[in-house]
């Protein structure tokens, strides 16, 4: 196991093949990663490389469209749709005073609920139908196939989280039976001479239980160690980067880290990223698991729910709604 100066690499192949003892070995590697640095790579995950390549191609196709076509599906209160360049400012950052908007644009996609789904009909917050771009043949099919693969990968990972926390392997099966997720398909224009306080995406922690970041040959991601030093994430072919976020902290009473990270595109070319943010079922109460609390370690956070948490975050971060009341309606 590499030390905390580097990002650990966990090979899932033995665990997924059912090798005796492999689940607990991988869970221990995950425990070390999430208590020392908060990030890890996974290899042997079973996601076909061509599926990831096709999804990057779709991201590039979408962002190559004229701005008016993208704005036709502008980000809505459910956090699906197009976020234009400088559409958000990460005022929630705990490691930087962020005043400048992010230099990226993104398309957000959620679970592809049908228009007659009861939650869609009821206009339930964060359970809407997606906003799909018009005129991009095959786009919806390719993107939903990728989301399905990521959801399947999350279901393979959560038993490792359970064992890493000293819980039965199936502990998170029910909470993640129909998880909340968002795929963020991001375009970072080149910014070779960016000043120190300008970012593709500013230093921040994710909100998620876990985030799956697709393999990327174009560098840009930096991670903050607990010492305060920043390290650059290397590119490992076909390896996903995984990290925890603020809701993982709540599930684990701060036992697992939500590590600050940022991105700047100094590659000289275009950079795309596919970030899959995943959380438990929308109705699941989020509170510290039994192994992370005790007489000398009381809960640090009140029990909360995905909807309430994300509404507050959206109000603080997104510029595209104008007045913050628009995000609450």
> pTM for the whole thing?
0.94
CA distance 200 to 188: 6
Domain extent for 255: 9-328
Query: Is 88 contained in some domain?
Result: yes
Query: Is 3 contained in some domain?
Result: no
Sheet holding 271-279, edge to edge: 9-11, 39-43, 240-243, 210-213, 271-279, 180-188, 105-110, 81-83
Query: Is 283 contained in some domain?
Result: yes
CA distance 308 to 306: 6
Task: Report residue 312 CA to chain centroid gap.
Answer: 17
Total residues found in the chain within this entry: 329
Query: Is 45 contained in some domain?
Result: yes
Sheet holding 261-263, edge to edge: 201-204, 261-263, 221-224, 230-232
Q: How many domains does the chain have?
A: 1
Query: Is 2 contained in some domain?
Result: no
Query: Is 4 contained in some domain?
Result: no
165-187 tens-digit pLDDT: 999 999 999 999 999 999 999 99
Query: Is 64 contained in some domain?
Result: yes
pLDDT band at residue 325 using 50, 70 and 90 as cut-offs: very low
Pairing of strands 261-263, 210-213: unpaired
190-230 tens-digit pLDDT: 987 766 778 899 999 999 999 999 999 998 999 999 999 99
Give me the pLDDT at residue 231, please: 93
Residue 38, domain CATH: 2.60.120.330
């Amino acid at each position: 196991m590499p030390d905390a100066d580097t990002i650990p690499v966990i090979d899932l192949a033995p665990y997924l093949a059912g090798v005796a003892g492999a689940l607990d070995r991988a869970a221990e590697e995950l425990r070390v990663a999430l208590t020392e640095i908060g990030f890890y790579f996974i290899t042997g995950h079973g996601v076909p490389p061509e599926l990831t390549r096709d999804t990057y191609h779709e991201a590039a196709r979408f962002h190559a469209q004229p701005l008016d076509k993208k704005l036709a599906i502008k980000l809505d209160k459910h956090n699906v749709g197009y976020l234009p360049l400088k559409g958000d400012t990460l005022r929630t950052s705990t490691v930087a005073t962020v005043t400048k908007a992010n230099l990226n644009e993104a398309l957000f996609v959620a679970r592809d609920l049908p228009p007659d789904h009861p939650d869609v009909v009821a206009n339930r917050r964060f359970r809407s139908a997606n906003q799909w771009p018009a005129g991009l043949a095959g786009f919806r099919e390719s993107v939903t196939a990728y989301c399905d693969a990521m959801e399947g990968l999350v279901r393979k990972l959560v038993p490792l989280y359970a064992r890493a926390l000293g819980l039965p392997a199936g502990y998170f099966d029910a909470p993640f039976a129909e998880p909340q997720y968002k795929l963020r398909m991001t375009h970072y224009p080149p910014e070779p001479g960016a000043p120190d306080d300008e970012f593709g995406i500013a230093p921040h922690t994710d909100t998620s239980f876990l985030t799956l970041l697709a393999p990327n040959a174009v560098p840009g991601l930096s991670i903050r160690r607990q010492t305060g030093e920043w390290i650059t994430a290397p590119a490992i072919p076909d390896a996903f980067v995984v990290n925890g976020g603020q809701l993982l902290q709540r599930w684990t009473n701060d036992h697992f880290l939500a590590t600050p990270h940022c991105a700047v595109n100094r590659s000289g070319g275009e950079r795309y990223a596919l970030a899959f943010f995943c959380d438990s079922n929308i109705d699941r109460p989020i509170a510290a698991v039994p192994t992370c609390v005790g007489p000398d370690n009381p809960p640090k956070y009140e029990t909360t729910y995905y909807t309430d948490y994300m509404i507050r975050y959206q109000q603080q971060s997104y510029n595209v709604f104008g007045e913050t009341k628009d995000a609450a309606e």
